[in-house]
Structure 1
Amino acid sequence: MQIWGRGRRYRSRLLAYFMAFSAVFITVSMVTYPKDAFDSAIQGLNLWWNVVFPSLLPFFILSEILMGLGVVHFIGVLLEPLMRPIFNVPGIGAFAMSMGLASGYPMDAVITCKFRKNQMCTAVEAERLLSFTNTADPLFMFGAVAVGMFGMPELGAAIALAHYLSSFLVGVIFRFHGRSRDSYNKEVIPKGNILARAFRALYRARQEDKRSPGQLLGDSVKSSMNTILLIGGFIILFSVFLRILSVLGITDITAIISSAALGLIGFSPNLSSAVVSGFFEIDIGALAASQANAPLLQKVAITSAIIAWSGLSVHGQVASIVIESGIRMGPYMVARLLHAILAMGITILLLGPAYNVTKLLSIPVTLNLAQTNSLSFWLVRMEQVGYQICVLLAILLTLSIAFHIARGLYSYISR
């Protein structure tokens, strides 16, 4: 016991030294290379202002309002019969999953954190939920990656399908995570009409909130602005960090290591720079993979892994959001690694033996990605995301009610 405690203090001390050294190192590097730091900061700011800010802020505000009005509690009761058996999370998890699937990173983290702070789920349920709802949005995969980077719209279906299938598999695997800390009683099955229970949950949540509509709207905007500013800070920080690493030649050293690792699995070493860039930032990594001199199958597989991993930049955003709610980042990081491995394997399968099936799922991209800063683009973007959220929730609600009816019939017959 004494040795274990000593080892823990030793690791804590090493971590403190490492963090202090890293902060000093980055600061000195920024002073040494001020132009590179400034240019990369401007690049990160443009990305946040033109893409992240307009695409995520409306949905951040919307999710806050829906929780305050009790709508999320309503959905949670209706979807409990589906989410609990499959993913071992409360029914409200379907709301986070739908918003995450349609809106992309880090929407799921924001919603999951709100669930935990409002005691709508336990810490271990939040960790399970975060493990499989951290997904990229369809527009990014179909439009930005398949069309914008590869110039091949038909790849969008394979990338998206591999991404979502592997995400669901991670959720099923992580349903067993932290079972010793579970406080949910599986023997207690709620009785009564599920729709009536859903309306009661909505009314009870609204009564407990007690905020007027005006106050709720103001609090939602204020909280969402704080979150979006936090995300912007991380995007700019990691943009500068990546440029400094590149200028100092550190990325070249890590590229040698990744090249050796790629050789072990039979992949082209030319993809090493994409792996290194994707380890830190998703957009830069995906673009590097699409431009690498390597077989197409390998480039798409590595791109799928990068999108599933999502990069340390997104991880930093997630950490800054969930750290206050007591959600651990360790399980989340393991889930991202597992997601990346599964996505790469499924992509190889979809572009190989199952390629004919994948071609049937290809869909046209209707948005003009060259004008992402125009008002018309973002109006269409919000319309599509809203439509996707409604469709996903409708499908999940239908499945959940079917599960509930089937379980009721089974209980009646088995008496």
Structure 2
Amino acid sequence: MRKNSFVILCTCFLIFALLRYPQAMLAASTKGVMLWFNQVLPSLFPFMVACGLLLRMGAAETVGEWLRPLMKPLFGLPGIAAFPFFLGIFSGYPMGAKITASLYSEKKISLSQAEHILSFCNNPGPLFLVGTVGAAFFQAPYWGYIFLLCCFFGAVATGILFRLFYPQNSWDDSLLYHKKSPPSITQCLPQTIADSMDTVTQIGGYIILFAVYVEAFQQAGLLHLIAKAFSFLPFSVDFFSGVLGGLLEMTNGAFLLSYAPDPLIYRLTATCMLVALGGLSILCQTMGILRNVPIKKSRYLAAKICNSIFSGLFFYIAFPFIEKYVQKTVPAFVMMAETEFFIPVSYLKCSLLFLFFVFLYTLRQKQ
């Protein structure tokens, strides 16, 4: 009972908020559903299917062969670790964790290697950073590209640092590449679609739940109250409200920070750290996906904190050199081009490229 007392308290608070602020809670829940249905489902589901097909048809092993000279000396990991890392960076949360869990379940990596990969492979994607945070929130898509670059280098630095905490075992990944012939696309496509739909639906549940929780905290004034407790520091209450909101759900936190009256360098650095961390919502999504992988959750959380610190540090150092090159204001037509046309088209091209690669790989296996 004592072990679950905090969860029980949070649940009771949610029930209270649903009864006390029904209209606001309904609006927040609807907003979460629309966010999942209009943005997360159409962007993440095709990537999950494409990555699942690549994984089941042996593309991860091929990538591992190519990138083994890079992954071994840098991270002390087999080449196959490059598959979740680069696709995790490219497609965003929680694809890195999803691919790592799949590699572990298929016994292509050990548990120690899975934990090490997870310390740096689960990161925010370009669609969210450039389109939502950069263009929509801070009115300059270029900040989104800088966030993406800093999160990438932060992840690399975390992966190198956490190499010290994981033993370099003698797992021979070269044995994986000729273990068995991959199945045909007609065999693995139904399973891949079902698995991807189950995962993306679970992610939708977390998005809706935390959208309601954040609204409950805001309606009850708890975020503002906690932020006031830090008023002795040289930051505004709005800044702390954004940070606290971002610790729960990073999108809401980034939005609040974009309107805070504090200097731009502090708001952007805090935003970079929040998106690299992911917040409690992303953490719960990741733990849900990794429910069949017996990792040490404390180590994963420590890795995400290190990733957040490294990413924020890189951004803070780079800010004075790049500020003068970033547009201070973005015309409406430029924002439309960046958020509604350019990025989705780029993602569509890359999705088609993935599927084309799968098709070619299938043909090669059948020859």
* Shorter-chain TM-score above 0.5: yes
- After TM superposition, the structure 1 = structure 2 runs for residues 6-405 of structure 1, keeping only pairs within 5 Å, are 14-179=2-167, 183-184=169-170, 201-206=176-181, 211-260=183-232, 263=233, 267-352=235-320, 354-355=321-322, 368=337, 371=340, 378-384=344-350
Q: AA paired with 1:333?
A: L
- Which has the higher mean CA deviation after the structures are superposed, 103-112 or 161-170? 161-170
* 8 Å CA contact retained: 1:70, 1:203: no
Q: Say how many residue pairs are matched.
A: 351
Cα 1:160–1:213 shift into 2, 3 Å: closer
Among the aligned pairs, what percent are the same residue?
A: 28
* 8 Å CA contact retained: 1:74, 1:202: yes
Separation in 1 of the partners of 2:83 and 2:27? 38
How much has 1:245 moved relative to structure 2? Answer: 1.4
Separation in 1 of the partners of 2:180 and 2:257? 47
CA RMSD in angstroms comes to: 2.9
Cα 1:379–1:344 shift into 2, 3 Å: closer
How much has 1:122 moved relative to structure 2? Answer: 1.6
Separation in 1 of the partners of 2:98 and 2:324? 35
Separation in 1 of the partners of 2:146 and 2:305? 19
Separation in 2 of the partners of 1:25 and 1:220? 38
The structure with the largest alpha-carbon Rg is 1
Cα 1:18–1:42 shift into 2, 3 Å: same
> What are structure 1's unaligned runs of at least 5 residues?
1-12, 191-196, 360-364, 391-415
**Could you state the TM-score of these two structures normalised by the residue count of structure 1?**
0.77
- Which has the higher mean CA deviation after the structures are superposed, 57-66 or 69-78? 69-78
How much has 1:201 moved relative to structure 2? Answer: 4.5
How much has 1:371 moved relative to structure 2? Answer: 4.2
1:396 alignment partner in structure 2: none
How much has 1:28 moved relative to structure 2? Answer: 3.5
* 8 Å CA contact retained: 1:93, 1:129: yes
How much has 1:331 moved relative to structure 2? Answer: 1.4
Give the secondary-structure state (helix, strand or coil) at the position aligned to 2:93: coil
Give the secondary-structure state (helix, strand or coil) at the position aligned to 1:225: helix
Cα 1:379–1:331 shift into 2, 3 Å: same
**Could you state the TM-score of these two structures normalised by the residue count of structure 2?**
0.86
1:124-145 residue CA offsets vs partner (Å, 9 max, x unmatched): 2111111111211223223322
Cα 1:377–1:155 shift into 2, 3 Å: closer
Cα 1:142–1:70 shift into 2, 3 Å: same
How much has 1:378 moved relative to structure 2? Answer: 3.9
Cα 1:329–1:176 shift into 2, 3 Å: same
Q: AA paired with 1:337?
A: I
Give the secondary-structure state (helix, strand or coil) at the position aligned to 2:2: helix
1:316-351 residue CA offsets vs partner (Å, 9 max, x unmatched): 110100021212321121111112222222111111
How much has 1:385 moved relative to structure 2? Answer: 6.5
1:174-197 residue CA offsets vs partner (Å, 9 max, x unmatched): 111233xx5336xx8x9xxxxxx6
2:331 alignment partner in structure 1: none
* 8 Å CA contact retained: 2:135, 2:335: no
Cα 1:53–1:205 shift into 2, 3 Å: farther
